[in-house]
A and B are shown apart, each in its own frame.
Chain A
Amino acid sequence: MSEAATVEQPLSVEDFYDATVLPDPCEIPVIEPGAMADSKPYEAAPEFQKALGFPGELVDDWHEKAIAKLGELVEGSRALRVYLDTCVKCGACTDKCHYFLGTGDPNNMPVARQDLLRQVYRKHFTVAGKYFPWLVGARDLDEEVLDQWYSYFHQCSQCRRCSVYCPYGIDTAEVSMAAREIMATVGKGQKYCNEIIGKVETIGNNLGLQKKALVATLEDLEEDIEDETGVAVKIPVDKKGADILLVTPSADFFAEPHIDGLIGYAKVFHQTGASWTISSYASEAANFGLFIGSNENMREVALRIRTAAQDLGVKRIIFGECGHAWRVAYSFLNTLAGPFDFLDQNYPVPQHICEYTYDQIEAGKIKFDKSANDHIRLTFHDSCNVARGSRMGDTPGGQFEIPRTIIRASCNHFFDMAPDTIKESTFCCGGGGGLLTDDLIELRKKGAQPRMRALQQVAQDHGVTHMAAICAICKTQFAKVMPDYGFDMDAILSVHQLVSNAIILDDAKTDQPEAGDGDNAQPAAAQ
């Protein structure tokens, strides 16, 4: 299963660019108004709209309904109200969005994107906008504006990069979520997100994968692992009384390279003697309710995890590699579905799989043969929802250091990309925020440009062959767009794939790589 171990990576960046000076990832394009005006995702079909409690199609009095909804949202969210009021149009955010850098469309500058909503807010909710609309750029919500909303609020991956640089912390993601919620409320929902939310709420995961199929898939996977390692690593489903409930994006069950990450989690749990399980009821970490700004749907999905934890009687909840899922889990789960006083209070609720693995490394409970990853020269993509919307460990910035520590422990050749493209300044993969759909492929390819340029740079400077990530969406997106930038589609890896390659399992087959120091026999420590 572990593809990376056999991949001969043909590095073709040089084939693509004969220039020795590669383009700067942060290079500012010439503005080109309307360049992406036609980029729009498919609208949700009436049945999927209705399933989520939204009207099937655009209602007759959509204008009144939309304004009323906007008023309601502004009343209920300090962030939205303050962000709409305080922007001074300083321009600091104008060159910070990967979609602007990749497309040149000025409406993809974060402030201009906000202005699409702000002009309507001003018109209806401010004195200046009511009486002097021309002065402050206020405008009513007409069909043209609604159309622009649909287009440009689906060109924001809610990555929060702009909020890092704004002197008032204005987060365009909040504005995009509000706009999407207003649109869904008047009957103009987005197909991709709404269909997926529907599947989670009826079946339990984004893919609509039923329990039977899930169990069969994971049994096959167990066999594969055993064939390869000689060790009976288990991936339990619905095991009552297990200590740990693992909630992971359903892509981990069969997409590449996600599945290699899942094998990595399983091996870590196995080696540390943990008792763990996956739930077939909450077999999905992703929570697309966030993307469409729908609190109700976000809560509905979050509550499934609480229910699963209670039904299975677990003591801890751990999340697998998924960017926005970790943001919702880390930042919102306690609020939406807490309190979790029925779980073991010695551990944070919830935890990230990287926190678990990191703790085990620190405690000396897992050991690596780093040479197993010697064919890889690696860099790491900080997934933005993890980087700017959450934390790992006890100290600010743990979300950057913990994955890097795991990588360094399992891989000999690690190189970071340019400083203004990583950690809190990381660029989105281009497919986050509910945009990972084929109807937006042009946008996705262009939006990936800054990240891909940073990767090309580090490939040229350090011979980097692979990039690891801790987000299911990032992985799928990169696998899709990397070929356009001169990389193989399997140049994207899961962090726990590196762990999987290098972890030393007790009783492993003799052809399992030996540890460098030869002292690899670690008794399986009970949790």
Chain B
Amino acid sequence: MLTGAYALLFYVATLVLVGGIGRKVVQYARTPAPLKIPTTPAPVTRGGVVMRYVREVVLFESLFKANKWIWLFGWIFHAALLLVLIRHLRYFTEPVWAIVALMQPLGIYAGFAMVAGLLCLWARRFLVPRVRYISAPSDHLMLVLLIAIGVSGLLMKYIFRTDLVALKAFFLGLMRFDIQPLPADPVLLIHLFLVAVLMIIFPFSKLLHAPGVFFSPGRNQVDNPREQRHLAGWTAKLGAGQ
């Protein structure tokens, strides 16, 4: 019963996540960018744009320029999240990839770093009047959700241990459409439920910044309007200056 419900939940969550993001990505890709509007100075080649993105996505370059605190907390959170996600791959791969196995110890610290980063980001929403002013309930709840996921995960690691072998069998089974029993530990169930919620709201929320950043014309356009006539959307219909 419980196993069945969770299996269904994760199938639905995965569908919504993949389908929802896919739909958005297609929508972004199809919406034209009729004019050249990169924020300059901008790269003058495609390769330059790729490098701009590497700096932006790996180092959060613009955020670093803007505000060192947000940068620090935000970067710690995202880097830690990445490590934690990589660490979780061990529940979905058999045999576990060498790189994932290697990251295990790091993943633990990352769990704490992630929660710490999130708490600091949340504190800003209360303590900095400017940020408080722009925060909607959903902005608080998103942080609460992520913190709850992190904390329940850490609780399982250190206090309420769960049957990891059975858990892994459950997920490997899900991937083969062969449902295996899920351990009925409350903390695990909470953790998994919250993750599924996160997956479901992803495509309907500001988490769209993850795919969205790659479609930002201010960042992804090559600065070459004089060399190449840019035509898209309504400007594609323009003739030769008629």
Contacts and interface: CB of A to CB of B under 8 A. Distances in A.
Interface of A: 28, 30-31, 33, 74-79, 81-83, 85-96, 106, 109, 111-112, 115, 126-128, 132, 134-137, 160, 163-171, 174, 295, 299, 303, 306, 330-332, 334-339, 348-350, 387-391, 394-397, 399-400, 424-425
Contacts of B216: 79, 82-83, 86, 168-170
Contact of A164 (B39, B205, B233): B39
A170 B230 CA distance: 21
Interface string B29-69: 00111111101111110001000000010001011011100
Interface string B2-45: 00000000000000000000001001100111111101111110
Given A77-B34, A337-B241, A396-B223, A90 B39 contact: no
Contacts of A170: 216, 218
B233 A91 contact: no
B115 to A, nearest CB: 18
Contacts, number: 221
Q: Indicate the member of B28, B48, B60 with the most A CB atoms within 10 Å.
A: B28
22 contacts: A77-B33, A78-B217, A79-B33, A79-B217, A85-B208, A85-B209, A86-B212, A91-B124, A91-B130, A128-B138, A135-B141, A168-B213, A169-B62, A169-B213, A171-B218, A299-B238, A303-B241, A331-B37, A334-B229, A335-B225, A339-B241, A396-B40
A400 B40 CA distance: 11
Contacts of B105: none
B225 A163 contact: no
Nearest to A163: B39
A343 to B, nearest CB: 11
Contacts of B141: 135
A103 to B, nearest CB: 13
Interface residues of B, number: 65
Contact of A137 (B32, B138, B227, B233): B138
A90 B125 CA distance: 9
B241 A82 contact: no
A80 to B, nearest CB: 9
A399 to B, nearest CB: 7
Interface of B: 24, 27-28, 31-37, 39-44, 48, 56, 60, 62-63, 65-67, 70, 74, 124, 128-131, 133-139, 141, 204-206, 208-209, 212-213, 215-219, 223, 225-231, 233-235, 238, 240-241
B28 A81 contact: yes
B225 A330 contact: yes
Contacts of A338: 229, 240-241
Contact of A332 (B36, B44, B62, B63): B36
Task: Across the A-B interface, give the 4 residue pairs with the lowest CB-CB distance, nearest first.
Answer: A169-B218, A86-B212, A165-B66, A137-B136
Contacts of A167: 56, 60, 62-63, 66, 74, 209, 213
Contacts of A395: 44
Contacts of A77: 31-34, 233
A132 B205 CA distance: 12
Given A82-B28, A128-B204, A335 B238 contact: yes
Given A77-B32, A339-B240, 8 more contacts: A79-B37, A82-B215, A89-B131, A92-B66, A95-B67, A96-B66, A134-B137, A165-B62
A391 B134 contact: no
Contacts of B62: 92, 164-167, 169
Contacts of A388: 39-40
A330 B227 CA distance: 10
Given A85-B208, A337-B241, A349-B226, A90 B70 contact: yes
B204 A126 contact: yes
Contacts of A299: 238
Contact of B212 (A85, A339, A350): A85
B209 A396 contact: no
Nearest to A389: B40
Nearest to B235: A335
Given A78-B31, A127-B204, A164-B62, A136 B136 contact: yes
Contacts of B138: 128, 132, 135-137
